[in-house]
Structure 1
Amino acid sequence: MPTAILADRAIIDVSGPDAEHFLQNILTLDLDALGQREARPGALLAPQGKIMFDFLVSRSGEDALRLECRADIADDFVRRLTLYRLRAKADIAKQDQPLVAVSWQDDSAASQSDSTVRDSRFQAPVFRHYGAVLEAGATEADWHAYRIASGVAESGPDYALADAFPHDVLLDQMGGIGFKKGCFIGQEVVSRMQHRGTARRRVLLVSADSALPAPGTELSSGGKLVGTLGSVSGRHGLAIVRIDRVKAALDAGVEITAGDVAVAPAIPGWASFTYPEAAGAEDA
C-alpha cells in the first residue's frame, strides 16, 4: 500500500448548527449526498461560473465538515468563506500544521483511522488520512504519477484558478456538481453548460514515446492551438484541450504535439463524455 505525506495541503474546519446549510448554498457539490468517511471534490465559483477555489470535503463530526485544499490558497479561501457566512451560525478556522497523507491501491486502508476517508474521485481505492502520523513509503511524486494516470486534475499543476469552468476539469464527471440541489454561486452558468452540452474544454490523458515537456506547454495540431499541458510524469500527463479540435485532428490524421513531442490524447476510462461527432466552430 503506497502512502505519501502531502506537505502542500491545508485543512479548513467549518462547524456549527448552520455549517452544512451555509456550505450547501454556496459550493458546487450536493452535501446531502456526502456519506460518512467519504471525501468528495467541489469548488467555490465566481458568479461567472469559473473556479475560484477547489477542494475535497468530508465530514469530521456532528455539524462539522473538513475542507482540504492547497496550502497556498487556504487563507484566501477562509476569507472568502467568511465573507459569505453573514449571520450563519458557523465557525470557520484553518488548522495549524495539519497532517495530510494519501494511500492508494489497498482496501485495508479504510480501517486505519476514524479520520481516514475514501477519495471518491478515483475508481480504485484511494484514501485520505487526516491527523494521523503514518509511515510514508512513497513520495509526493509517486502520488502525482498515480493521480495523473487516473485522469484526476487539480488546480495549480493542471489549471489556474479563475481560468477554468467545472466542466473543463471534469467536476461534472466526479460528482462535484449538484445539478439537482438548487442554487449555488455560479449555478446558472454551470447548469446552462450542462443542459446545452456546450462543454468543449476537457481534461484528457496524454502520452508520448519520450518525456513530455514542462507543464504549461501548448498542444497544437496543424498550426492550431489545441490545449495546454498540465501535470507531467515522465511520458504521461494531463492536458486541458478543446475536444472538438482534438477530434478534428484525429479524424484528419494530423499529429498533435506538445512543443516538439508528438502526443496521443485519450479520454479517461471512467469518464462518460465523448468526442463530438463533428469538429466544432473555431470560436472560443
Structure 2
Amino acid sequence: MTILRSGRAAFRFSGPDATRLLADVITGFVAPEPGPARWWALLSPQGKIQAEGLIGVDGEAYLLDVAADAADAFFKRMKMYRLRAKVEIEDLRETHRVGWQAEAPTPAEGLVAHEDPRAGGLGWRVIAPGALAEDWSTDEAPWHARRVAAAIAEMGPDFLPDSQFPHDLGMDLLDGIDFSKGCYVGQEVVSRMKHRGTARRRPVIVEASGLTPKDPVVAGGREAGRVGTIADGTALAIIRLDRVVDPEAVTAGSAPARLHLPSWASYRFGESAETE
C-alpha cells in the first residue's frame, strides 16, 4: 500500500550542470549514481534549515522532495542559485505526487521509488504522476509512526524553516551532511558545529499521556523543547540535551514524561556544549 504524502512536493533537476549546482548548494552527498535516497537540507548563510528532504537519481536527473509549505521559497532560491548554469528545474506539484511505502513498490511506468536508509531503514519514498496516485491511501499514520519511533524530524510537523541547524535533527549522524565536499551555503556554520562540538539540541522520543503538539517539555523547571509529531502515544521532540539530567524526571504538557534516545544516537542526556 502506498500512502500519499500530501504535505510534500517534488522537484526534478536535470541538465549537464545539475550535479554541480546541487553539490554547491545543499548539504548532502550528490552524485549521478543509482541507489538509495539521501537526506539533504538547503541552508541559510547562517546555517539554519530552509528546506529538507530526500534526493534520489532518476536516469540523468535528480528527484527531490520538500515540505509543501516551503516549496515556493525553495523553488525561488534554487532558480536564483542557478544563475547561468545549464540546469532545468521542474516544479512537479501540478503533475506528480509524493508517497511512502513500507516495502519496495511494484514497478509502474512513471513511478520512481528510492529506499530511505535513515535510521536503519524507513521504507521507500515514491514519486509518481497524479494518475497513478489516485488510489493511494490518505492515512499517513503508518509513516509518522515509523519515523517517530526512529526520531526522524520533518519540516512542518516538527520544526519551521529557519528554526533549526542540521545537527539539531541529527543530519550529521545520518548521512545528511557531506563533510568531505567543498563549500555549500551555510557550510561554515555546520563545519564549526562539528569540530567545536556545539550541537546542544537533538531529536528524542517522548513518552507521556495526553500529549498534544507544541506541548512544552520541561526538565529541572526549564523548558528543554516542544512536542512535535505524535504517533501511537509517543512523540518526537528536538530537545536541549544539557537541560535533561534525569530523562525520567521531566514533564510534557502537564503530565510526567520519559525521554528516550533513538537507536542511532551517539549523544547523551546531560551533555553540554559551548555557546554557538
* Normalised TM-score (structure 2): 0.90
User: 1:142 Cα deviation (Å)?
Assistant: 2.4
User: 1:244 Cα deviation (Å)?
Assistant: 1.3
SS at match of 2:258: strand
- Give, in whole Å, the separation in 1 of the partners of 2:182 and 2:219: 40
The 8 Å contact of residues 9 and 70 in structure 1, kept in 2 or not, is answered as yes
User: 1:221 Cα deviation (Å)?
Assistant: 2.0
- 1:266 maps to 260
The 8 Å contact of residues 100 and 123 in structure 2, kept in 1 or not, is answered as yes
- 2:76 maps to 79
SS at match of 2:118: coil
Residues 85-121 of structure 1, C-alpha deviations (whole Å, 9 max, x = no match)? 11111011201231222111x3xx1663561110122
User: 1:263 Cα deviation (Å)?
Assistant: 1.4
Q: Where does the alignment leave 5 or more consecutive residues of structure 1 unmatched?
A: none
Tell me the amino acid that sits aligned with residue 23 of structure 2: Q
- 1:94 maps to 91
The equivalences for 1:272-283 within 5 A come to 272-276=266-270
SS at match of 2:121: coil
Tell me the amino acid that sits aligned with residue 94 of structure 1: D
Please list every run of at least 4 consecutive aligned residues from structure 1 whose deviation after the TM superposition is greater than 6 angstroms. Answer: none
- Give, in whole Å, the separation in 2 of the partners of 1:116 and 1:256: 40
Q: Percent of pairs identical after alignment?
A: 39
- Give, in whole Å, the separation in 2 of the partners of 1:76 and 1:118: 26
- 1:20 maps to 19
The 8 Å contact of residues 245 and 280 in structure 1, kept in 2 or not, is answered as no
The 8 Å contact of residues 243 and 270 in structure 2, kept in 1 or not, is answered as no
SS at match of 2:167: helix
SS at match of 2:6: coil
Match among 94, 107, 131 for residue 112 of structure 1: 107
The equivalences for 1:26-65 within 5 A come to 26-32=25-31, 35-62=33-60, 64-65=61-62
User: 1:67 Cα deviation (Å)?
Assistant: 1.1
Tell me the amino acid that sits aligned with residue 149 of structure 2: A
The 8 Å contact of residues 110 and 117 in structure 1, kept in 2 or not, is answered as no
Tell me the amino acid that sits aligned with residue 107 of structure 2: Q
The 8 Å contact of residues 228 and 241 in structure 1, kept in 2 or not, is answered as yes
- Give, in whole Å, the separation in 2 of the partners of 1:266 and 1:153: 15
User: 1:3 Cα deviation (Å)?
Assistant: 3.0
Tell me the amino acid that sits aligned with residue 22 of structure 2: L
- 1:127 maps to 124
User: 1:5–1:22: structure 2 CA closer, same or farther, 3 Å change rule?
Assistant: same
Q: Indicate yes or no: 2:4 matched with 1:5.
A: yes
Q: Indicate yes or no: 2:134 matched with 1:139.
A: no
User: 1:137 Cα deviation (Å)?
Assistant: 5.6
| Number of matched pairs | 270
* Normalised TM-score (structure 1): 0.88
- 1:156 maps to 156
User: 1:249 Cα deviation (Å)?
Assistant: 3.3
- 1:256 maps to 250
- 1:237 maps to 235
- Give, in whole Å, the separation in 1 of the partners of 2:259 and 2:148: 13
User: 1:274 Cα deviation (Å)?
Assistant: 3.0
User: 1:237 Cα deviation (Å)?
Assistant: 0.4
CA RMSD of aligned residues (A): 2.1
